Amino acid sequence: MFEDAIIKNINQYIQLNDIEANYFLSLLYPKTIKRKEYLLRPNEICKYESFITKGCLRSYTIDDAGLEHIVMFAVEEWWTGDLYSFLTQTPGNFIIDALEDTELLQISKDDLEKLYECVPKFERFFRLILQNAFVAQQQRINQNLSFTAEERYLHFIKKYPQLEQRLAQKQVAAYLGITPEFLSMIRRKLARK
Amino acid sequence: MFEDAIIKNINQYIQLNDIEANYFLSLLYPKTIKRKEYLLRPNEICKYESFITKGCLRSYTIDDAGLEHIVMFAVEEWWTGDLYSFLTQTPGNFIIDALEDTELLQISKDDLEKLYECVPKFERFFRLILQNAFVAQQQRINQNLSFTAEERYLHFIKKYPQLEQRLAQKQVAAYLGITPEFLSMIRRKLARK
DNA sequence: CGTCTATTTGAATGTACTCAAAAGCGGTGG
DNA sequence: CCACCGCTTTTGAGTACATTCAAATAGACG
């Protein structure tokens, strides 16, 4: 059951009894999206935070020149969404679409607020999730400031070895902040060694 | 009183009664550090998260070439610390020092855990703080990917107009991810318009 | 199998860096 | 109060990392 995965995941952070777990599950909407379909279209309001049970998504922007820049990937056991848009319920900056056929469990802002009221332990759960995400982002910012493109690439494949297999190089380049051509050159150079 | 500032700040997010507020205040250690002194030395374990009542700090790394890269500034009403080091109580990656004479209120990890137990509302408080920090970081990552140095500079002075006044250009450059020389060129070019 | 997209390769270009030196600024002590 | 010292900022020339544009090749999907 897809519901098992999310409860198991949550139990790594907080302890839920059956009533709490079932209440939480009752708030979730399952959704499937196919590869290349949108979870969040440009300028759309983000109505749900989504927990991924299967598949892979990217959150990205498109700049004035039409180039895509990937802010995050999300795979199984990760939460995704445009948090700013979700919190403010105003149109966001990010676009989210599927890089693989994907299955999600979604929770709306109202239901999440209710959940915080009824089961305050979830405040803790999402605080812990956010702490981890904050630390990871801070490290990424530091790397973007400190590392060359080649160093960032080497760090990426070391940190997420399984993820690189699932992604087109183009997507990796858009995440690292370089052009696909330059990533291709970096890989050629590394392969010659 | 410096204690007023932090309670006022917290009351913007959660409602504390006097008992809760006083309990929280009892867990805080005041500290002052002078300009150029360290809050966190290289490879030191981060024992406290710190709320700034006066002054300005920077969290940064030094790369192999000896260059400094600033991950965040922190001024009045902000929390700072090396969250990874604080959570794991292992040596961290960041160095924190004061850019101005600074006054802080510090809380230890043990006391913070106690606080979460005794006053669970603080789970909510720090979740909300982290949400905001997460959103801000995500936007910064996107800008580092999408914008030129000039665009990043213009965005920075627009977003933190009062902060630029307090910082040496060198520090701004280390935050934007460029050399001081190049920031100087950007400013000259902008001034000519 | 054919079409469309991703990847590779190369040449020319641009953005930002390095190194070096001069000028400016702020704090401190005489 | 001025002079000096150290650090920051400015300026310029040469360089390196990464991009752009274009074309060829490879690969994925219907």
Give residue A2's pLDDT. 58
Mean pLDDT estimate for chain A: 96
pLDDT digits (tens, 9 = 90+) for A88-110: 999 999 999 999 999 999 999 99
Angstrom distance (rounded) from CA B51 to CA A122: 25
**pLDDT band (50, 70, 90) for residue A192:** confident
Short-list B134, B140, B14, CA closest to A49: B134
The partner residue sitting opposite B137, judged by closest CB among A127, A141, A177, is A141
Give residue B147's pLDDT. 97
Give residue B27's pLDDT. 97
Nucleotide nearest to A179 (CA to C1'): D19
pLDDT digits (tens, 9 = 90+) for A39-89: 999 999 999 999 999 999 999 999 999 999 999 999 999 999 999 999 999
State the sign of the Cα–Cα–Cα–Cα dihedral A73, A76, A78, A83.
Answer: positive
How many Å apart are B137 CA and D10 C1'?
32
Task: List the structure tokens of A113.
Answer: 């607020």
Strand ranges inside chain B, DSSP E: 29-33, 38-40, 48-54, 56-62, 68-75, 79-80, 95-98, 102-108
**B62 to chain A, closest Cα gap in Å:** 8
Give residue B192's pLDDT. 80
pLDDT digits (tens, 9 = 90+) for A13-40: 999 999 999 999 999 999 999 999 999 9
Give residue B35's pLDDT. 93
**pLDDT band (50, 70, 90) for residue A193:** low
DSSP state of A15: -
State the sign of the Cα–Cα–Cα–Cα dihedral A68, A150, B81, A80.
Answer: positive
Give residue A4's pLDDT. 85
Domains and their CATH numbers in chain A: 2-120 (2.60.120.10)
- Residue A178 scores a pLDDT above 90: yes
**Regions in chain B scoring below 50 on pLDDT:** none
Give residue A150's pLDDT. 97
Angstrom distance (rounded) from CA B175 to CA B152: 10
Long-range Cβ contact pairs of B7-14 (< 8 A, separation 24 or more): B9/B51, B9/B77, B10/B125, B13/B124, B13/B125, B13/B128, B13/B129, B14/B121, B14/B122, B14/B124, B14/B125, B14/B128
Q: Which residues pair with B20 in a beta bridge?
A: none
Residues 161-180 of A with CB under 7 A from strand C: 168-170, 180
**B170 to chain A, closest Cα gap in Å:** 14
